[in-house]
Amino acid sequence: MYKKYLGLTGFVALAALTASAAASAQPVTYDFTGTVDLAEGVYASVGPNLTGTITIDFGAANPSQSAGTIGSANGSNWMAQVEGGPLFNSASTPSALVFNETINAIGFSYGPSFPASYGVDNFVGCTSSCATTNNIFPANWYASDSEFLSKNTYTSNYISFIGANGSSAPYDANGLPFLGHVGSQDDRLSATVNNIQVGVLKYTITSLTRVSAPEIDPASTGAALTLLLGGIVVVTSRRDAKTIL
């Protein structure tokens, strides 16, 4: 009986695909600069400029709370989400965030109070017009984090990038933000205490620079190489055995 064996080229391709999948699940971090558009309440002293970081970690998403295909631009909405805590009838809050942002200015620094004791609602996605062909309205890339200390006391920050036109999504095929395709944006941080908003900070991101790229862990690479070589040995042995028989 004729049997087709997978050669070295096939194993290398398989290893590359495995490595690519592993890399796509790694967090990606950006540095950004921005200008303050509105600062009120507890944030009144912030501005006129600010800096910060944005980290996207799709590996932190809960598949059962997410939807669609990350980075899709075929018209279907997609969302990578994680939520948890008593507010959401969950015993524990998430162990990691999909969207994590820090904001810094003179005399001011913000980072999520994670994990918040009462609940976390965190996601990244395209929430409308997620297409780049035959699309009248531009796509909307949206990232949001809400940290609850109680049902009525929480901080919330989000970034909303809207494409410059219907054929240019403000995100790439991996679901990561692409400032070059952004036509307008709505970015803000707000604080609410006992259902009363005590502060709001609206800002515009003017530069977004990727500072970390997905990398393959050396240990994982070594394990993959061992598996690859082991597979080659097995195939060679089978081929030799077939020849002897």
Residue with tokens 């070589």: 229
Mean pLDDT confidence for 93-117: 91
- pLDDT at site 134: 67
Bridge partners (DSSP) listed for residue 53: 31, 102
Q: Regarding predicted confidence, which is higher, 112 or 62?
A: 62
* Domain ranges (residues) in the chain: 1-25+216-245, 27-213
Joined tokens for residue 88: 């959401």
Mean pLDDT of 134-154: 91
Q: Minimal CA–CA distance to 136: which of 165, 162, 163? A: 165
Query: Whole-angstrom distance between the N-terminal and C-terminal Cα of the chain?
Result: 12
Q: Report d(CA 71, CA 240) in Å as an integer.
A: 46
- Please compute the mean of the pLDDT values over residues 226-234 and round it to a whole number: 41
Asked if omega into 115 is within 30° of 0 (cis), the reply is: yes
Q: Which one, of 234, 243, 231, lies nearest residue 15 by Cα? A: 231
Q: What is the pLDDT of residue 115?
A: 78
Per-residue pLDDT averaged across 108-135, rounded? 87
pLDDT for position 44: 96
Q: Which range (52-61, 150-159, 233-242) has the least confidence?
A: 233-242
Q: Specify the DSSP class assigned to residue 168.
A: B
pLDDT band with cut points at 50, 70 and 90 for residue 128: confident
Q: How many helices (H) and strands (E) does the chain have?
A: 2, 10
User: pLDDT band at 131, cuts 50/70/90?
Assistant: confident
What's the whole-number mean pLDDT along residues 196-223?
Answer: 77
Please state the rounded mean pLDDT for residues 227-245.
Answer: 45
What is residue 234's predicted lDDT score, i.e. its pLDDT? 41
Integer CA distances (angstroms), 212 to 26, 53, 57, 71, 217, in order: 10, 11, 12, 19, 14
Residues 6+ apart with CB under 8 A from 110: 101, 102, 103, 104, 157, 189
pLDDT in tens, 49-95: 999 999 999 999 999 999 999 999 888 899 999 999 999 998 788 98
pLDDT tens per residue across span 9-21: 443 333 443 443 4
Residue 54's closest CA among 96, 103, 95? 103
| 233 HSE (CA, 13 A, CB side) | 6
